[in-house]
Structure 1
């Protein structure tokens, strides 16, 4: 039998947040209470306190860097995409050139909470040299534990595989479109869950369209199109094409449980087949629940919670 509990969470600012829940998880509570983010909008500052802004500096001598998103999953681990920690030649990036910023909204101003990385942990089945994004999952171990505050707090990890989500949110500091720059402040956009049957169909039709191929019968060229991998799920705003874009990799695809009001990282931004905003082809997201045991092994304080 489950008993409903009332929990008061006190953050460093002195703010109280009252949460009614049916479990003992301590994660996924948004601050405040109340893209690539293409066709998105600016998020409420620090609404998603698990958001991590990750910078992989190219060298020690200038400020150029590759950026990705991530999610804090316990007090010393950030979840992101495996392809973020490799360069275009398949070489693992240097930990000493990696910076993780927590509690940020504006990435030009809110950079006080900077963390170095002591270890890259990733699925060894991932192989960027194959130009695929299968098994695109990694964890960054921070050099020191962080202190939870109103602006820094972990997201929940779902204990089961994907379902027919009614609404999903993706957040990031990635480009606003293929031709626009990236925003300074965190953006969010609501996207639709696309089941694998429909996603494979959209992928197939998009591939034929790009190649200029016309079928003589349905599925004629199915052998030429690789099905969506088991480690991926699909999502996009089917009305606007809104979704993640360049620079959003590794950021969370989130579901808010309407019963316990907690946010769960059901996916993380992996990649896509088309350009940002192409309504005909969804973005691929690594399914986080498939890495539940991996997370439990390496991020032992993470919260694996029932949806």
Structure 2
């Protein structure tokens, strides 16, 4: 079940206003992975991260139960925020990635909450490189609590976690987006038909299974999408997790 994969919500503050503003995903008992702009947005200089919530499905109930499995939410403080050192340097939203170290370890909570796998060996684990997956695998999964309205001026935030399959095949729209990046392979695209990411989904994962569905992997972290969510012939741009593995792994500690 997708909601058991360590999906997280980030709670932030801007001035006197607090809100669940981004998604994230648990990759280690002490770390969630999210987008750089979810913790340090140049357009919101007074943004501060207050905490991380795991095990959430329905924001209006606790615990949440589905198919006989129940999950109580876990709210955790933030010990450290690590933004990718090249974030926003070579281009706007380049290397849009951050690690958030939790104030305590999230463990012994199976089956409700567990980390998603990093794509350490895509060819062995998933049957191809991350580039090849766009040609060999048709679909990935997105999930989050972002707006379900395509109108950028009228966000409609759901109370229940939304999840959907999206096509992985890049389109000309993706090619145009990636041309703005000095290293296009640092990003990947998905979507373009049907469900879409929108305001509030930033930082959430693009996921894929190992066909047998014994393990799930995070391929990308939601970075940016079109101005009008779900507009025809558009796609969402994700930060490529495999491309940034060396930075991620070098910053994880017990």
* Aligned residue in 1 for 2:220: 267
Change beyond 3 A, Cα 1:120–1:127: same
SS of the aligned residue for 1:230 comes to helix
CA positional deviation for 1:255? 0.3
Verify: 1:82 aligned to 2:36, yes or no. yes
Q: Is the 8 A contact 1:121 1:138 kept in 2?
A: yes
Tell me the distance in 2 between the aligned counterparts of 1:78 and 1:84. Answer: 12
1:7-29 CA-partner distances (Å, limit 9, x unpaired): xxxxxxxxxxxxxxxxxxxxxxx
Structure number with bigger Rg: 1
Q: Is the 8 A contact 1:83 1:128 kept in 2?
A: no
After TM superposition, the structure 1 = structure 2 runs for residues 198-217 of structure 1, keeping only pairs within 5 Å, are: 199-200=174-175
CA positional deviation for 1:257? 1.1
* Aligned residue in 2 for 1:52: 8
Residue of structure 1 aligned with 2:243, choices 290, 301, 306: 290
Tell me the distance in 2 between the aligned counterparts of 1:63 and 1:141. Answer: 23
Verify: 1:170 aligned to 2:120, yes or no. no
Q: Is the 8 A contact 2:12 2:51 kept in 1?
A: yes
CA positional deviation for 1:192? 0.5
SS of the aligned residue for 2:38 comes to helix
After TM superposition, the structure 1 = structure 2 runs for residues 192-271 of structure 1, keeping only pairs within 5 Å, are: 192-195=167-170, 199-200=174-175, 226=180, 229-238=184-193, 240=194, 242-259=195-212, 261-271=214-224
RCO comparison, higher one (Cα < 8 Å, 6+): 1
* Aligned residue in 2 for 1:143: 103
* Aligned residue in 2 for 1:105: 57
Tell me the distance in 2 between the aligned counterparts of 1:92 and 1:266. Answer: 30
Q: Is the 8 A contact 2:14 2:46 kept in 1?
A: no
Q: Is the 8 A contact 1:55 1:99 kept in 2?
A: yes
After TM superposition, the structure 1 = structure 2 runs for residues 33-48 of structure 1, keeping only pairs within 5 Å, are: 47-48=3-4
Runs of 5+ unmatched residues, structure 1 = 1-29, 31-45, 205-224, 302-307
TM-score (norm 2): 0.80
* Aligned residue in 2 for 1:219: none
Tell me the distance in 2 between the aligned counterparts of 1:198 and 1:276. Answer: 14
TM-score (norm 1): 0.67
1:262-306 CA-partner distances (Å, limit 9, x unpaired): 1100011100233101121111011111121122112246xxxxx
Task: Tell me whether 76-85 or 112-121 shows the greater mean CA deviation.
Answer: 112-121
CA positional deviation for 1:89? 3.5
Please tell me the root mean square deviation across aligned C-alpha atoms, in Å: 2.6
SS of the aligned residue for 2:238 comes to strand
1:91-134 CA-partner distances (Å, limit 9, x unpaired): 3743xx5110011111233474111101111111112896x221
Task: Tell me whether 115-124 or 252-261 shows the greater mean CA deviation.
Answer: 252-261
